[in-house]
Amino acid sequence: MKAWVVHESYKAATTPFAEVPAELSTVKGCKNSFAACQLLLHDGKRNHFVLGREFAIPDEIEIPMYRIEITSELPVTSQFVGYYTGQQEIDFADKLLDQTAKTYPGDRMATVYLEFPLDQSIAAGSYPVEIAIYRAQLASADSLVLSKKITVEVSAFEFPADYRDGFNLDVWQQPSILARTYDVPLWSEQHFCLLEEMAASLAKIGQKAITVIAGEIPWKGWFNYIVKDYPANLYEYSMINVNKTESGAITCDFSVLDRYLNCFFQAGIDQEIDVFGLLGVWQPPFFPIVPIDYPEALVVRYLDEATGKMMFIQQKADLQNYIRQVFAHFKELGVWKKVRIVSDEPKKHQINLFKESLAELKAIDETLQVKVAFDKEDVLTELLPLVDYPVTSYYCTCNHYQELSQSHSGKTQYYVCNYPDKPNTFLHSPLLETRVQGILAHHYKTDGLLRWAYNCWPENAREDIRYNTSSLPIGDMCLIYPAYSGHLALSLRYKQLQRGIEDFYLVKQAERQQPEQTADLLDTFLTNPNSQEWMVDSHQSQPYLFLQTASDYEALRDALLTIIAK
């Protein structure tokens, strides 16, 4: 059995002829944060591993069993890392597992993620850690087969409790998919327990926005009705119950919406409310359209009390009445200024339709604020004067962030989705491409990052996250995973995004101390600070970019901390 202690950003994979991992002897961390690394174990055979002192026998009783024991003065958590199939049928380690015993086949590293939480009470200094690997036996004592020693260096620097506040993170949530994946009724007690867990996980990485669905199926299931490469049901449903009385009046029950909002408010996510389904709803081919007297085919379903039938609003006056009540309710809650009516990637042929639909909404309330994700430069140019909060694709941001930072100062974000090829947050992407998003958010003079999917899981997501792989690179659809335990499973990508947001804070602090020195440091780190030269085309980045190593990131952090300490 061989063992390696490697950087937290290492991505284990079943790639043939992979290089021998670079080992660590020291792991660094700051207070009010965490230190982390990975333990890799491999001998080319199928083995069973156990964390701690649990007695766990594998189904295949003849395979070797190994027990991993970690000794540290510092608190430490250890988790096996699960693999998912990615591009070119290569499996990549990403999912942080709940289970404390796991069998790994011989084609991959047994991967253990180690995290040392460092609260403000922990003194700065060096802390030894010993990792012992025992060969476990069924009827006799363990035998020690190898051990590893590392040192955790705790910096005197302490992140303040509010260090995430300056980074505007918006990862869209998929609440209906959450319920379906766990086979619980939509908006049930079980569903809200999961929503509370989701909100808590998002709050830990500084999420600022709540995804609200106020019209049925705004994305029409992301084409899952015609894309059949892997099974998926991706429809998102409204959280507002609507009735039409016998007298013909539209009435709304906002109790589900209110409880949903409170889940996030209680987790500390209350800066922004993103409302989908009222502007720029997707109209993909071959999907049935509800006829309606309105510029675009919004979908609002209601119970007709006179007939007992479920129906769809088709009259403009009814739709206007519904929208008016939604807006009024947000005002009653005192959150109207936080509400953004969101449109996701309007296309060139939809420009006039967007303008007409926005005019209808403005006629109801001219104080509404609009947030739009733009992936096309010509659409951005045409619609930007109408938009309060522009969010631009990586490509559009590379070319236009300077003018956007002037025209919409304090109101911009950028996003990565199914492109660019790098830097991105796909399953196969090097983990440092997730971490670099914090540096890029600063470079682009944006207020943060948007990611379109936190949990847009296909049907078998506990084992396989592939769906529409010709358009959506594997991993694009989620940042976390469903676990067999009934809880949510975080990922190594999630952890590196957390690191990236820490980097964003450190850059901002260093910039206040030494702006020129910090700018020079970042220019050197990026190798080419001119983002207009970063892309070959709208989807492909220059191959020589974003090849930084873990050592480069550690050196950058050390340099930033040195500037801050002056």
Task: Identify the segments of the chain with pLDDT beneath 50.
Answer: none
Q: Which ranges of 427-529 would DSSP assign to H, the alpha helix?
A: 431-443, 492-513, 515-526
**pLDDT reported for residue 137:** 83
Residue-wise pLDDT for 86-111, tens only, equals 999 999 999 999 999 999 999 999 99
Structural contact between residues 296 and 353, judged by C-beta atoms closer than 8 angstroms? yes
At 136, list the tokens: 């476990």
Concatenated DSSP letters of 68-137: EEEEESS--EEEEEEEEE-GGG-EEEEEE---SEEEE-TTS-EEEEEEEEE-TTSPSEEEEEEEEEEEE-
Rounded to whole angstroms, the Cα distance separating 293 from 299 reads: 12
Q: Report the pLDDT value the prediction gives residue 8, as an integer from 0 to 100.
A: 98
Would you call 58 helix, strand, or coil by DSSP?
coil
Q: Identity (one letter) of the amino acid at 234?
A: L
The enclosing H or E element of 47 equals strand 47-51
d(C-alpha 40, C-alpha 133), whole Å: 11
Contact present, 330 and 240 (Cβ < 8 Å): no
CA-closest candidate to residue 264, choices 331, 338, 186: 338
Cβ contacts of 486 within 8 Å, gap of 6 or more: 182
pTM over 0.95: yes
Strand partners, 42: 2
Query: Given the DSSP bridges, would you call strands 301-304 and 449-451 parallel, antiparallel or unpaired?
Result: unpaired
The gap between the terminal CA atoms of the chain, to the nearest Å, is 46
- Cα–Cα distances in angstroms (integers) from residue 134 to residues 43, 77, 137, 416, 493, in the given order: 14, 19, 9, 43, 30
pLDDT given at position 498: 98
Where do the H-state alpha helices sit in 338-491?
351-364, 377-383, 394-407, 431-443
